[in-house]
Structure 1
Amino acid sequence: MGVARDETTTSNAIGYLPGTDPKAGAILLSAHLDHLGQVGDGPVMHGANDDASGTTAVLELAHALASGKPHRRGILFVGYGSEEMGHFGSAYFAAHPPER
């Protein structure tokens, strides 16, 4: 039996809304960008609720929070890639947090 190796490229989408107090830290709002679609001959795993709804919520929160008064804490908006294939986007983000 041989070993199969597949490689792909992924990315995280990151937005940042700076806060007024750099020492106050940041709030993280996130969702994952991918979904499985159809796996083999199995059922279709619809992406509308996994996780298009979460991604839409993060985008709407970014729009609403950027439209108001400045916040004390910074706010990070992150869409993780390759979560369904092994949490690669969030693991990378956790190991390499953005510098402020």
Structure 2
Amino acid sequence: QVMPSVVNIATKTRVQRVGYLYDWWRDNWTPYAQQLPPEESAGSGVIISESGYVLTNVHVVRDADEIWVKLTDESGKQKIYQAEAIAGSLTTDIALLRI
């Protein structure tokens, strides 16, 4: 009975290069610089309403550029939805998503 409400969460975050050494490298060697691959993260969450709200942890979705939620319905069929972060608290490490 719990399975349909538990979801998997996957995120992608574009890596930002910062610092004076990178600025020098970018300005002088841009044709040779490689794009860093996005960082990927995973976690879990719980659907808390029929409106598509999902409760998870802030550390799972913080700074994410893309958030994907995978759920399994009663028949065992998996569905993947893109989600957006609605609210979060660093103090409690709780985040609210909407799919």
Please report the TM-score for the alignment, with normalisation by the length of structure 1: 0.27
Larger relative strand fraction? 2
Please report the TM-score for the alignment, with normalisation by the length of structure 2: 0.28
Larger relative helix fraction? 1
Higher RCO (Cα < 8 Å, 6 or more apart) = 1
Q: Which has the larger radius of gyration?
A: 2
